[in-house]
Amino acid sequence: MGLRGSYDAALHLLDRQIVDSDDLMVAKVDDVALSPDLEIVGLLCGPAVLLPRLGGRLGPKVKDFWERMAPEQADRSTPCFIPVDAIAEVGSEVRLNRVRQHLLVRHEPPGHRLGDLLGLPVRGGGRSLGRVIDVRVREGRRVDGLVVGRGGPGSLLGYDRRRDQGPWLVGAVVRWRHRHTGYVGRADVLSIDWGHGVEVSVAGLGDLPPTT
Amino acid sequence: MGNRADMRTTAPRVLLALVLLVGPPLLAGCAPGTPDAGAWRADASRATGDVRSEVATVGLALRRHDDLFDSYLQTMVVDAEEAAGAAAEKLSAVQPPTAELERHEEVTSTLDDAASLLSEVRIAVVRHEPLTPYVGRLTATADELDGLEQRLRRPAG
Amino acid sequence: MKKLLGIALGVLTAIGGFVDIGDLVTNAQVGARFGLSLAWVVMLGVLGICVFAEMSGRVAAVSGRATFDLVRERLGPRMGLLNLVGSMGVTLLTFVAEIGGVALALQLVTSVNHVLLVPAVALLVWLILWRGRFSVMEDVLGLLGLALVVFAVALVHLGPDWSALAHEWLTVDKPGEESWSTWAFYAVALFGAAMTPYEVFFFSSGGVEEKWTAKDIGLMRANVLIGFPLGGLLSLAIAGSASVVLGPEGITVDTLGQVGMPVAEAFGKIGLAVAILGFVAATFGAACETGLSVGYSVAQYFGWQWGKYVRPDVAARFHLLLGGVTLLAVAVLVTSVDPIMVTEMSVVFSAVALPLTYFPILVVANDHDYMGEHVNGRLANGLGSFYLVVVGVAAALAIPLMIWTRMGA
């Protein structure tokens, strides 16, 4: 099992290169499949998940356009799926434990996409706390809590992990932009209304716990 | 980056601003309007400068033709002839303002003369005729164009 | 000799940034009109590209990830796509122009119209992209491109007034008849060309092609520190020799033939032959560099297998794309559009692509998870931050200046 420790899924997993056991490239991690109780079950790739992530008004439009290019294909909006037990290691690339021949099959397990969770507005105690900008994962695959703030998914760029990460100028700007960014533990999440928002039981955000 | 709600409201505004900024000049470009005297002088001196540069290039190349391959010299002369012709033609298509009618006549005919001199040179180069006689004429033409360019920077009269 | 070939990647990368077809003409143009008063811009650009090429090369050596992987990872699919569109604008237009540029250079020795030469040149470029070994390509084209050193030798031989040249350079002594806005336009154009994004795409992907590891960081640095300054030197030599020979004649340079005149004046036909060899090799090298960069960045955005270190059928989509863009280049060029004009248009796109390319490199080169002990030091970070600001300013100024000065007319 390649997914270990605690990490931020948007920063460490999303958009990484997938490489097979022969060092040949397979695809990008275009999205991550989550089970209904928010556990990582695999990687998703292909236009069906990449295009919606373009975001704004562009995303849905190009996805719609892409599906209409071949309306006879029933599985066109289904991405390709790589199960989590195919992952050997996650570093600067996601390494698989098998070869790429006939690897990708169109399939999407029941549950949710990480990309759909990112960007959702978060409300707590009757006021807006920001948006989900990353998802903290613990023990390799269990969603432990949400990183909430202003800005796009992954916009912390990893500058929350250590104070001395340079260059000073970029670090200072990113930390200033994210001065209101904080953390909501899984236990404090009341409900997730997919496509609309997240309701939490706390009125303020906690500090980001360190990753390992 | 910004949040989505922001993008939604700002995008049309940016688009509108772009249309307002870029639209009128584009529309103005569609019809041959009469430029003011200043704009005409800028166009005319630019065209004269361009042609002078081409004439000077050919002059330099002819003085050095022993150092150049035949094909190299030919290519240079043909390029210069084309560029000079294009510059002269572009200016002659500009509607001159009333104050500059006289000089417009003078400039276009001088540029045409220069362009046809370059054509003569090209014919001589391709036919491998002696080139020395042209060197003097090219220098004289370049000087004439230089003087004209200086005068065109000032208003008529 | 083996050591010399080890730095061919750096040299070939620099050729695409400093002496490709657009730059050959722009350098001579700038030299003839402004003397050496813009020389410091070239030097600023050399240092800037050294800083970021070193970072991207180090990331590639340590992690095996090339630059567009980082762009997609740190900026996400949306901003990554914006960068892809912008940098494709630069790279693809330059690729089209280079194929035309090879044809223009060959026209000087064959006097066959360059439009007729385009299909043959494009076929040859495509065969190299498809079949040629990466190392052979970089060695042959990189070394032959060095024939342009003849411009530096010619400048010395012509015996210019060195103190006057040095004065122009040191005091930014712009000729009186040129306006500062035109001067600024050329400054931004030269700086943008020196730091053009396909250089880091090509350099970092080339490092992956050559299977660099953390042990090769020294070799990578030698590539950077020799290749790019050499490119800058060629650029300055072309400008200097043009300022000596073409400047006094009042010639504004717009063709390749004019660029070669100073060498003909210094060394006659033999020198000119060397210069034309340099033109052909440099434009050909830049064509390979930009063509591959198109393939590299698109494949890295979508996660396809790329590279010439695998058989073409293993990286099928990558090679299909290379064939497609070569056909596109032929289609554009047979309309007899002027290739040199095409490169000038690409300035618009670099305004978008420059900051979006260098920002993620700087961020990842500081990421301990990625780089371990090889993260940026103070020098790389100080210079990197400085250049990020400079690149941002240049990008913001590029389009207004282009409109204001009518592309430096």
Neighbours of B, requiring at least 3 CB pairs below 8 Å, are A, C
From the CA of B10, how many Å to the nearest CA of chain A?
Answer: 12
- Does residue B9 sit at the A interface (CB-CB below 8 Å)? no
Residues in CB range of C386: below 8 A, 6 or more apart: none
d(CA B35, CA B40): 6
State whether B53 and C251 contact (CB < 8 Å).
Answer: yes
**Pairing relationship of beta strands A80-83 and A105-106 according to DSSP bridges:** antiparallel
Question: Quick check: helix, strand or coil at residue A112?
Answer: strand
pLDDT in the model for residue C227: 93
Segment C136-163 shows an average pLDDT of: 92
Question: Please, are residues C84 and C357 in contact by the beta-carbon 8 Å criterion?
Answer: no
- Does residue C163 sit at the B interface (CB-CB below 8 Å)? no
pLDDT in the model for residue B29: 45
* CA quadruple C154, C159, C165, C166: dihedral, nearest 10: 100
- Does residue B5 sit at the A interface (CB-CB below 8 Å)? no
Alpha helices in C175-255 (DSSP H): 180-194, 198-209, 217-245
d(CA B140, CA B138): 5
For chain B, the average pLDDT equals 81
B interface test, pick of A53, A54, A57 with most B CB neighbours within 10 Å = A57
From the CA of C201, how many Å to the nearest CA of chain A?
Answer: 16
Q: Using N-to-C axis directions, what is the helix angle for C347-364 and C180-194, rounded to 10°?
A: 50
- Of A57-71, A111-125, C347-361, C373-387, the range with the lowest mean pLDDT is C347-361
From the CA of A146, how many Å to the nearest CA of chain C?
Answer: 18
- Does residue C369 sit at the A interface (CB-CB below 8 Å)? yes
The string of pLDDT tens digits covering residues C153-200 is 999 999 888 898 888 888 887 887 788 888 888 898 889 888 999 999
The string of pLDDT tens digits covering residues C207-226 is 999 999 999 999 999 999 99
- Does residue C385 sit at the A interface (CB-CB below 8 Å)? yes
ipTM exceeding 0.90, yes/no: yes
C interface test, pick of B45, B72, B126 with most C CB neighbours within 10 Å = B72
The string of pLDDT tens digits covering residues C325-368 is 999 999 999 998 888 888 877 776 777 788 999 999 999 999 98
Q: How confident is the model at residue C265 (pLDDT cuts 50, 70, 90)?
A: very high
State whether A119 and B1 contact (CB < 8 Å).
Answer: no
Q: How confident is the model at residue A212 (pLDDT cuts 50, 70, 90)?
A: low
The string of pLDDT tens digits covering residues C13-46 is 999 889 999 999 999 999 999 989 999 999 999 9
Q: What is the pTM of this model?
A: 0.90
Q: Which residue of B has its CA nearest to C270?
A: B67
Evaluate if residue B4 carries a pLDDT over 70: no
C interface test, pick of B22, B60, B66, B135 with most C CB neighbours within 10 Å = B60
Chain B residues close to C107, C-beta within 8 Å: 71, 75
Question: Please, are residues A153 and A133 in contact by the beta-carbon 8 Å criterion?
Answer: yes
Evaluate if residue B12 carries a pLDDT over 60: no
From the CA of C63, how many Å to the nearest CA of chain B?
Answer: 28
* Residue A95 falls in which region: left (phi positive, over 0), alpha (psi -120 to 50) or beta: beta
Evaluate if residue B10 carries a pLDDT over 90: no
The string of pLDDT tens digits covering residues C78-123 is 999 999 999 998 999 999 999 999 999 999 999 889 999 999 999 9
Neighbours of A, requiring at least 3 CB pairs below 8 Å, are B, C
Which chain B residues in 49-88 lie under 8 Å from chain C, judged by CB atoms?
Answer: 49-50, 52-53, 56-57, 59-61, 64, 66-72, 74-76, 79-80, 83
- Does residue A76 sit at the C interface (CB-CB below 8 Å)? no
From the CA of A201, how many Å to the nearest CA of chain C?
Answer: 30
In chain A, what percentage of residues exceed pLDDT 90? 63
pLDDT in the model for residue B22: 53
For chain C, the average pLDDT equals 91
State whether B76 and C257 contact (CB < 8 Å).
Answer: yes
State whether C265 and B67 contact (CB < 8 Å).
Answer: yes
The amino acid occupying position C135 is S
Segment C294-300 shows an average pLDDT of: 96
Helix (H) or strand (E) holding A25: strand A25-28
The string of pLDDT tens digits covering residues A105-120 is 999 999 999 999 999 9
From the CA of C211, how many Å to the nearest CA of chain A?
Answer: 12
d(CA B51, CA B46): 9
Chain C residues close to B79, C-beta within 8 Å: 255, 257
